[in-house]
Structure formats: C-alpha cells, structure tokens
Chain A
Amino acid sequence: MKVNDLILAALVILGAVALATVSLTLPPIPGQAYGADVFPMSIAVGLLLCGWILAARSVKGGAGRALTLTWAREPGAPTRVLGTLVLVALYIWLSPLLGFVLASVLMLMGMFLLLRVQMILAVPSAVISSLALYYVFAYGLRVPLPRGLIEGWI
C-alpha cells in the first residue's frame, strides 16, 4: 500500500516546515553564532529541497494514482499487518501484568491465528519458543524479563 510521489513530497515538505518551526524556538549558545538550531535547520532546508524536487518531478512525469494497494489488495493482508502491530502493543501493555511467558505466548498465538497455522503446530511452537527465550535471556543472560503470574514457578 503506497501513496504516490506527489503526496510523499507533500508529507516531506510538511515535515520540513514543522522541523524548521520547532528549530526556530531553540535558544542559541550565548555569545556564539552557531548553536543547537543550526543542525536541525539545515536538515529542514535539505528536506524542503528534496520534497520540492520530488514534487516537481512527479508533476512533470505524471503523479499516477494517489493510492496503490499492492499487498493490501489481498484479502486478509491489512488485518495481518495491523493485527501484528496491535499484538506487539498488547505485549507492551500486558507483559508487566502477566509476565513475559504468558504475554509472549499470547502474542505468538495471535500471530499464528492471523497466519492460520494449525493449532497442533501453533500451541507447541508458541509455548516452546516463549520458554526457550525466557530461559536463554532470563537465566543465561540475566535480563530481568517482566515477571508475572507463572515466572515464579518455572
């Protein structure tokens, strides 16, 4: 799923203007002409130029359709991509409450469901990989992975 170069250029120009606006508010180093604003301001000018050239090029060469669906045309594809993002967000929210193992099993099962993996393969894959990563990182590498309902038992 992609927008055409003209819309991309408009987004780049918009970003450049926003960056320049915020850069202008950065205070200078007292007694110096070059402070914290020089670098972001140069980036903003650079982005503005790039956006301008991209826009000019796409107007000249014909911008094409505003939105091309590519992979999103396939049934279920948008759900799979958005579902994955939601599952990671859920993991961020739930792992302090449930602990690493349960939260990661939930995330993996969600993704397997999105990809229509059979239960007989999905359940052991989710459980074994969650436990394996827990043991490697929590015990092997001493990473304090979030502890919750079952980590005290394993």
Chain B
Amino acid sequence: MGTFEAAAAMVLRWDVMITILAASAFGMVVGAIPGLTATMAIALLVPITFFMDPIPAVGAMIACSAMAIFAGDIPSTLLRMPGTPASAAYTDECYAMTRKGQAETALGANVLFSALGGLFGTAVLIVSAPLLAEIALGFSSFEYFWLALLGLACAIFIGTGSPLKGMISLFLGLFVASIGLDNPGGIPRFTFGNAELMSGIDFIPAMIGLFAVSEVLRSMATGAKDWEVKQTSIGNPLRGWGKMFVTWWPQQIRGNITGTAIGILPGAGADIAAWVAYAMSRKFSKTPEKFGTGHVEGIIESTSANNAALAGAWVPALVFGIPGDSITAIVIGVLYLKGLNPGPTLFLNNPQTIYAVFGIFIIANLAMIPLGLLALKAGTALLRVPRRVMMPVILLFCVVGAYAVNNSLYGVLLMLVFGVLGFIMEEHDVPIAPCVLGIVLGKMLEESFVTSMIKADGNLLAFFERPIAAGLGALTLAVLLMPLWSALGRRRAAA
C-alpha cells in the first residue's frame, strides 16, 4: 500500500469522523463562550485525547481549534464580546454590522472565509512542510538552538503589548521547564526532595490551570454575570456569499497569505494574524472611511487570516517541534505522548501519519461550512445559558481533566497552582503565551545550548559558523534588537 492509500485508510474511518464531529462541537461551545479561548478548548480536550489512537487524537485537536476560532466570531457579532482573542481585531466591525441589522452577512462571511482561510493555510502546510523537513534533516544543535530562541523572541516582541512583561513571563516558563531530573547533569533541580517534582512539571495540568482555571477565577471575581444578547434570531447567512466572494477576493487572498505567514512564524498565532490583517485591509482599502461603520471588507480579510494562521502554525510544529502558537504548543506535547515525536524524521519514518494529518486538516475545514452554519443557531442559544451555572461546571471539567493526565490528585493541585499564577499574571498585564512557550521550548533550548557549547568547547562563535545557523542567528538577533533600535530612534527624534 502506498503512503497516500495508507494515510487515507487512517483518516477515512467512522471513529475518526465521529471524533472530528464531536471535537468540532466542543470547539464551537468553548469558542462561542466569551472569555474561553481556543487554546483553552485544546487544553481541556487533551485529557480526552489520551484515550484515543494518535490520528483521531490529532484530528480532534485540529477540528476543535479550527471551529473554536470561527465560533469566537459569534459573540463578537452578537454581543460585541470576542469569543476568542483571535476575533478581537474585528469585533467592533462585526457588531457595527449587527447594529445595522446585517448580523447574518457578518456571520455568513465569517463561516465562508474562515473555512477558505483554513484550506489555504492547509495547502501551504502540505507544500512547505515536507520541503522544510528535507532541509531540517541537516540541522544540528546549533540550528535548533536558534530556532527555539527565535520562537521565544517572536513570542515576546511580536506577540505581546509589553515586551518587558512578556520577557518576565517567558523566564517564568523557562524556570518551570527547568524543574526536575531531565537536564544535562541529570541531577534533581528545584525539586526540594519532592518525588512528584522529579519528573518535572506536568505540562497539561499547567495549561489547564493557566488558560481555563484563571478564566473561571476571573469570572468568579466579577460575579459571572449573564450576557445581554441583543439580536436573538439571525436571517439566512448564506445570502450574499457569491457576491462577497467575487467582490472581495483580493482581500481574501491577502488575508490568507498574511495569516499563513504569521502562523508559520514561531510564537505568533491567530490573534496577531487577525490584527495585522485588519490593519492591512484598512491601509490598502479604497474606502478606509467605511471601516468601523459595519463594513465587511476588513472582516473578510481578518477572519481569513486567523484560520489560515492555525494551519500555518503547524508548519514549524511538525517540521522542527517548535510551536507556531500556544495551540500548537499543546499539540506538540500530545504528539510526544502519542509517540509521534515532531521533527524532520517524522516525515521520513512516518510519512503516512503526516499525510493523514494533512487529510484531517482538509476535512475539518470543509466540514466547518455546514457545521459552522449549525453553530450559528446553536451559538445564539448557548449564550443564553446562565454563566453562574456554566463557570462552576467548567471548573469541574478542569479538575477531572487535570486528574486524568496521570490519574493523580497531584495534577489537580498543579492545575490549581497554575490557575492562581495565570490569574495573578493577567491581573498585572503579564501575558501568558510567552510563559507557555517557555515551558514547551525550555528543554530544547537548554539541551541544544549545552550540547552546542560542549561540542564547540565553549566557543560562542560556533553558533554562527554553519550557514543556516548563521542566518537564523542573525534573524533572531534582529528580532531581539529591533525594539531597542526603534526605542533609540524615538529618543533621538524626541531630542
């Protein structure tokens, strides 16, 4: 059997299809609830994927994240509250359309262009990942060190409002990654004699805590008040699809390209893609004055971009094991658990699995159109469930999920600690995403650095001796030094 046939046989199974369907429904529920992010949906889904075969598990995560990012547009449009941060860029625009009585046009555009954006990102993933994997086969610890550092640098300087606080968050994550026995010396580090800490901090309970428990605590702080749904019934969202497609195709393509490119960049994901795409749309628009008044142009470009970014983020995740965003950060953890260690060798040893993943991306994005239309109906009903009932139940789900990772209450304790940490961090405007990337990339960063230094006998210049390493090093240093450069420029201009 050839690779494609083997991949098709892995994907076209009833259990995989049902999993994709169920995960889409789950992603829709979490994405449509304001405050609950797509990353949180994935963190909560992980304990369930433990009990699945690798392909349905990966399928569940792809379908869930794609649906959650789209479903985030529903409360954006109806309540002016972004369901996920990826919708925040064009929330006001969508809501302005609702106020003009055009909610169905905005939501229809969100369904159609989310799916098309996802398919575009998938196409780029399919074409570029195997090519990059060929190149990555020649990588040594020097290149991996720079790649890990580049991912972290992008997360701080591109992904956050305050790079300084982003850096504090990153160092916190790197510290968490350094706990345990798994280090170059093989000695217990920061375990304080605790046997549970020897194996390090379990990633999944930490994620559930940082993303989900912190949000539950935030809504407990504000009393979990119900949302006020302004428009409860929506018309036919299919109306005007053809016209929108014909009129706005350049915007759509541009959004797709922006989104995929930002997704591929390690450390930056769907939310940044949407902001950049919306800003670009306005800049290049023939009618920029219409932006903010309920104009569909910017919505199309940015809703295309955020879903395209999702697929783009899988490129560095699969090829180098470097997460493109916080969702793929969690996915990488799951891939390791499932024995599908990401990296170029995965393309050599397990090509059928890679093609199966591509296949699932296509199916999940195609399924988004019918499921998305259903979600529009379900989403409006969901927003009427009392939040005071929903939040405690979500916390119970977190507790069970954190327990299920190792069947131990220690996971629940970790979840609680990280929940409080996430809550305090957000209170102080310290972003969470760099911390997550630090936890995921910490080990790779340390290992590649120490191995390289031992190989080079302490010669730091060795990090620039290989051509690709030198290129990546220069790029990383540029990202790191850019803010310093612009700050100096501002100071000079002010003087």
Contact = CB atoms under 8 A, between A and B. Distances in A.
Given A80-B221, A88-B395, A38 B168 contact: no
B428 A115 contact: no
B412 A111 contact: no
A78 B404 CA distance: 30
Query: Taking chain A's interface residues, is the majority helix, strand, or loop, or is none over half, making it mixed?
Result: helix
A1 interface: yes
Contact of B400 (A32, A112, A145): A145
A154 interface: no
A36 B403 contact: no
A83 B171 CA distance: 30
A43 B446 CA distance: 11
A116 B220 CA distance: 11
A108 B423 CA distance: 20
Interface in A48-86: 50-51, 53-54, 57, 70-72, 74, 76-77, 80-81, 83-85
Contacts of A53: 164
Contacts of B395: 84, 88, 107, 111
Contact of B189 (A12, A26, A57, A144): A26
A143 B187 contact: no
Contact of A143 (B171, B393, B403, B453): B403
Range, interface on chain B = 35 or more
Interface in B332-367: none
B396 A104 contact: yes
A27 B217 contact: no
A45 to B, nearest CB: 10
Contacts of A50: 164, 167-168, 171
A76 B223 contact: yes
B187 A27 contact: yes
B124 interface: no
B461 interface: no
B48 A32 contact: no
Given A26-B189, A34-B453, A88-B416, A121 B396 contact: no
B123 interface: no
A29 B184 contact: yes
Nearest to B420: A85
B183 A36 contact: yes
Interface string A103-135: 010011001101111000110011001100100
B171 A107 contact: no
Nearest to B165: A54
B427 interface: yes
A76 B199 CA distance: 40
Given A19-B175, A26-B189, A125-B389, A36 B427 contact: no
B409 A115 contact: no
Interface in B403-460: 403-404, 407, 409, 412-413, 416, 420, 423, 427-428, 442, 445-446, 449-450, 453-454, 458
A114 B220 contact: yes
Nearest to B183: A36
Nearest to A29: B185
B222 A77 contact: yes
B7 interface: no
Given A34-B184, A38-B450, A115-B392, A43 B404 contact: no
A22 interface: yes
B388 A88 contact: no
B102 interface: no
B32 interface: no
B397 interface: yes
Nearest to A110: B392
B393 A108 contact: yes
Nearest to A117: B388
B408 to A, nearest CB: 10
B190 interface: yes
B190 A22 contact: yes
A10 to B, nearest CB: 13
Interface in B141-185: 164-165, 167-168, 171, 174-175, 178, 183-185
A81 to B, nearest CB: 5
A150 interface: no
B50 to A, nearest CB: 8
Contacts of B449: 38-39
A43 B178 contact: yes
B184 A129 contact: no
A84 B388 contact: no
Contact of B416 (A38, A72, A89): A89
Contacts of B428: 2-3, 8
B220 A12 contact: no
Contacts of B386: 117, 121
Given A108-B392, A125-B389, A141 B450 contact: no
Interface string A30-41: 001111111110
A6 interface: no
Given A43-B174, A84-B216, A143-B403, A129 B185 contact: no
Nearest to B222: A71
Contacts of B396: 104, 107-108, 129-130, 133
Contacts of B175: 19, 40, 43
10 A-B pairs with least C-beta separation: A36-B185, A111-B392, A115-B388, A71-B221, A39-B446, A80-B220, A143-B404, A141-B51, A35-B185, A34-B453
12 contacts: A26-B185, A33-B453, A35-B185, A39-B450, A40-B189, A74-B221, A95-B409, A104-B399, A104-B400, A125-B393, A141-B51, A143-B400
